[in-house]
Amino acid sequence: MNLKRAVVVFGLSLLLSAAAMADTTASLSFVSPVGPGDYQFNYYITLGTTDELNPPAITGANCTTGSGTVPCAPSDTFVTIYDVPGLLTSPFDAEPSTGSNVGWGFVVQPVGVTPVTSGGTDVNPPTGDSGTLENVTFYYTGSTVFCGGNSITDPGCVGTYQSTFFGFSLQSSDSSTQTGSFTSSVTDTASADVGILGIDAVDYGSGNVLVPAGSSVPTPEPVGIWLLALGLIAVIFYDFPRRMNDRRVAK
């Protein structure tokens, strides 16, 4: 990927995440080639200014994975990226990665882990979940509480102030991008501060994020183009004498 395209990708990522700044978001940082026909999509997760990573505080939150509403697993604290075309997975390809982020893991499923509110409503991804393309969920089970704001914007959070986590990635056979979706489930600091826990303390997020396109139209090979051109020339020369003869008859 050249520098100009990288700048465009980063700019689009900022625009897509701007609409969900109050919530925890996933954003594409850049795409890099990692092998013949394989490309790594690098993501970062940003906590909302009043959010925190604190899994015990929202134990009992609900999710759906295509089989009804169930307790979130493997964690109540997560970000799901939906419908990833050409996703490469083990045992023959590289798996998604959480990088050097401690306490994080991932799961890959055909129906993504999607938050369900206390009222029983799914927090739907904007572009949907096809149920046929794989989804990647990055989840947190660590013991360290991370605060998304700072001591001024989020004074109630007792933990380590860190709002952005880099190093998440997945690999695809397509380097181009399209607008996809994410959802997120983290702890709302204000609720946890006053003793509201479990599903009522969840801050849900949903928005757009760039994912592999997976639908590029193949460019005709040069040999194929020449054969097509020769075929058209042959048709013209074959048809020309007949047309001239028809004109003579008509006269």
* Domain 3-212 in this protein, CATH class: mainly beta
What burial class does residue 120 get, using C-beta atoms within 10 Å of its C-beta: 0-12 exposed, 13-18 middle, 19+ buried?
A: exposed
Tokens 């490469």 identify what position?
88
pLDDT tens per residue, range 99-136: 999 999 999 999 999 999 999 999 999 999 999 999 99
pLDDT at position 237 is 52
Q: Which strands sit side by side in the sheet containing 38-46, from one edge to the other?
A: 25-35, 38-46, 164-172
Tokens 């990665």 identify what position?
97
Closest CA to 209 of 16, 21, 23: 16
DSSP 83-127: --TTB--TTTSPPPB-TT-TTEEEEEESS--EEE-TTS-B---TT
Q: Are 186 and 150 in contact (CB under 8 A)?
A: no
Query: Which SS3 state, helix, strand or coil, does residue 169 take?
Result: strand
pLDDT tens per residue, range 12-51: 444 444 344 458 999 999 999 998 889 999 999 999 999 9
Domain boundaries, the chain: 3-212, 219-251
Q: What is the mean pLDDT of the chain?
A: 83
pLDDT at position 241 is 53
pLDDT tens per residue, range 62-92: 999 887 899 999 999 999 999 999 999 877 6
- pTM of structure: 0.78
pLDDT tens per residue, range 142-192: 999 999 988 887 888 999 999 999 999 999 999 999 999 999 999 999 999
